[in-house]
Structure 1
Amino acid sequence: MVEQVIAVIGSILSSAVGIISVCIAVATLRQNSKLIEESTRPYIVIFFEFTNAATAVNYLVVKNFGQTGATIDHIDYSFDSLGDEAKDLLIPQISSIEGVFLAPSQKIPLPFHVSSSGEIKGPIHFSIAYHSSSRSYHEEINTRIAEQFKARSTRKINGNADHLRDISYTMQEITERLI
């Protein structure tokens, strides 16, 4: 009789350990799946960039910093803080990239003109919806272009000829990008 009780208790404990092991394995697999998804997902953002070669050019850059390609579904924006000229350039450009597929590290520069930081009254808000082959994503981005605009470096003019100035500006731009 005692042997049967010990056998039943052993079977129950063995079954319990097996069930707990399966539960732990399932939880670990789910966690690993989430980690893999997070590390390989697309990550599309919008940021301000500028070049200052012969003339200064401002860009809003849409870039996929993720490890997977994604298609842009929709971009909402609030350009209340930008001047009319910049709005007139950016709005059609932003509309034209909806439906575009961005591969990993691919970027789309959207040029616009702002002559002084006084034309920018505050932050610009973007809301980006995009999807990969398996999931949909949504990002909210606020960019403070006025502060970045003020931080632009000025160029030194080398000589009186325009072509020398252009070469000088371009070389300075390349040097700064390599730093």
Structure 2
Amino acid sequence: METSSIVSLLIALIAVLISLATLQENRNMIEESTKPYIVVYARVANFESPRYYIIVKNFGTTGAKITNFKVDFDLSKYSYDDERTPFKHLENSFLAPNQSVICNIDPLKYCRNPHPITFNVTYGTKRKQYNDVYNINIQSEMDNIQTRASTKNKELSIISHTLQDLVEKHL
């Protein structure tokens, strides 16, 4: 073989390898931008008095089926209804993009036994499975003080507080 043929062959092989690497990187970028992203987090909403929530939400752009949802603490201890356990039947549920499942936590029960909670969530699409672990400390939300404008002795105070809370959430 001539030297020019070998050089041409090497250049062609390098071009093919670069193309394959670029295609793989593009595939990874598309997957990252379109995958489901299910997150568990705590929030407080203040409608005259604070309300505490644990939220499971799909922040991704693709829906996902939750195949495994484990909690290291018995959430029924924080429930407003002793007969119900929050998120107990979440496995095998489908969450569309931006869909959330919300659980209200009884602050009186929580304050008696404040406890960080670990959630282990496995979810996926037809092609890929994801597993994430979230450590939630509701106390960190309770420690955040939120003040309100005074509307004392007016029946619209709850509406006022609710609107203020909504504005704060969109800042």
Q: TM-score range by the shorter chain?
A: 0.7 to 0.9
Give matches, 1:5-154, under 5 Å. Answer: 8-79=2-73, 84-86=77-79, 92-115=85-108, 118-154=111-147
Q: Indicate if the aligned counterparts of 2:53 and 2:104 stay in contact, CA closer than 8 A.
A: yes
Identical-pair percentage: 33
Q: Indicate if the aligned counterparts of 1:49 and 1:61 stay in contact, CA closer than 8 A.
A: yes
Which structure's residues are more often helix, by fraction? 1
Gaps of 5+ in 1: 1-6
Q: Indicate if the aligned counterparts of 1:117 and 1:149 stay in contact, CA closer than 8 A.
A: no
1:171 is aligned to 2:157 = no
3-state SS of 2:69 partner: strand
Residues 119-158 of structure 1, C-alpha deviations (whole Å, 9 max, x = no match): 3534211110001121000001112210111114244552
1:158 is aligned to 2:151 = yes
Distance 1:119 1:156, change over 3 A: farther
* Alignment coverage as a number of residue pairs: 171
Amino acid at match of 2:101: I
Give the TM-score taking structure 1 as reference length. 0.81
The CA RMSD measured in Å over matched residues stands at 2.7
Gaps of 5+ in 2: none
3-state SS of 1:66 partner: coil
